[in-house]
Structure 1
Amino acid sequence: MNKGRVEAFTDAVLAIILTIMILEFKTPESFAISAILDQVPYLISYAIGYLFIGVAWYNHHYMFSKTRWISRNVYWANNFWMFATSFLPVATAWVGKGLNQQGPETFYFLVYMLWSMAYFILSLMLVKANEKGHRPEAAQSIRSMVIYRFMSNWKWVGLQIIASIVVLIYFPALQMVIVSLLIIFVGARFNKDSDQLFN
């Protein structure tokens, strides 16, 4: 399968998702600067969502740059990942309306878990495609990514789920803090060669 077309389609879908997210930001009726304060919860959830997609795109680009052959399994895993990502604007908008409410925060957590599962499946399919394509070094590069190692460690994933459930019961807004920390300290810890792929 043509890798360029899959990447172009993915980029287009992610661009649309980001556009939908910013369109949820409502222009205040008043011209007073204080009128923007009502939008602060949404701005917080939007900023986290934007960071989420930005980091995910970078990792996606890295994995696809390492991969030469796109199998059917990779194609469908990529579609599942985009499907999971497409729920982010709804989750972001709802959290923006109820930053410390259980309903929106639980939905965001479920979207995040679906996204994580889809991302791990995509990573795994890319590893298998590289192994089948006789590119063990590319497969190893994907396996060595911090996000891959985190998601393949059931102890860390289990700890995250338990912590999130406790937080959702007692202080739902902390769920966004957990997601932000995972994005920064797990997702954004890129492989050293990630900025040297095309040198």
Structure 2
Amino acid sequence: MDKSRIAAFTDAVLAIILTIMILEFKTPDSFSIWAITGQLPYLISYAIGYLFIGTAWYNHHYMFAKTHRITKTVYWVNNFWMFSTSFIPVATAWVGRGFNEQGPEIFYGCVFFLWSFAYLLLSKTLIMANVSDGHEKAADSIRQMRIYRFLSNWKLVSIQVILVVLGLIYVPATQMLIVTLEIVFVGAHFNKDSDRLFES
């Protein structure tokens, strides 16, 4: 299967998801500059979602650049990953309307953990595809990604789940802080060769 077609399709889907998120931002009825403060919860939620998708796209690009062949399994798992990502605008909009409410935060948490599972599954599928083709170096590059090492470490994930559950019980909005910290310190820590993939 043509790798560039899959990458282009994924890029298009992620671009649409980002567009949908900003369309949820509502212009105030008043012309006072202070009227925008009413949209502050959504702006925070939107900024986290944008960082989330931007970081995910970069990691996805790296994995696909390293991969030599796209199998049918990779294709369908990638679709599952995009499916999970497509829920982010809904979760972002709902949290923006109830930033410290349990219902929206629980839904956001479910979307985040579904996305994490889908990303881990995609990573493992790409690793197996590379190993079966004899491209162990490419597989090892994906294994070395910090986000993959975090998501495949059940102890770290268990700690995260416990922290999120406690946060949802007592201060639901703390989940957004946990998600942001994971994006910044785990997802946005890229392999050293990530900005040199296409150097001649």
What is the TM-score normalised by the length of structure 2? 0.99
Aligned residue runs from structure 1 range 159-178, under 5 A: 159-178=159-178
> After superposition, where does 1:95-174 map in structure 2 within 5 Å?
95-174=95-174
1: CA distance, partners of 2:171 / 2:62: 36
- Which residue of structure 1 aligns with residue 34 of structure 2? 34
Residue 65 of structure 1: how far off its partner (Å):
0.2
Name the counterpart of 1:57. 57
Q: What is the root-mean-square deviation of aligned Cα atoms in Å? A: 0.4
Distance in 2, matches of 1:11 and 1:113, equals 22
Give the distance between the partners of 1:148 and 1:114, measured in 2 at CA: 15
Deviations 1:74-122 (A, max 9, x none): 1011000000000000000000000000000000000000000000000
Give 3-state SS (helix, strand or coil) of 1:17's partner.
helix
1:31 partner SS: coil
* 1:32 Cα deviation from its structure 2 partner: 0.3
Identity over aligned residues, as a percent?
68
Q: Which residue of 1 aligns with 2:94?
A: 94
Q: Which residue in the other structure is 2:48 paired with?
A: 48
Instruction: Report how many residues are paired.
Output: 199
Give 5+ residue unaligned stretches, structure 1: none
Q: How many angstroms apart in 2 are the aligned matches of 1:56 and 1:14?
A: 10
Deviation at 1:179, TM superposition (A): 0.1
- C-alpha distance in structure 1 between counterparts of 2:107 and 2:173, whole Å: 12
Runs of 4+ in 1 over 3 A off after TM superposition: none
Structure 2: stretches of 5+ with no match in the other structure: none
**Alignment-derived partner of residue 20 in structure 2:** 20
1-structure distance, mates of 2:193, 2:4: 21
| TM-score normalised per structure 1 | 0.99
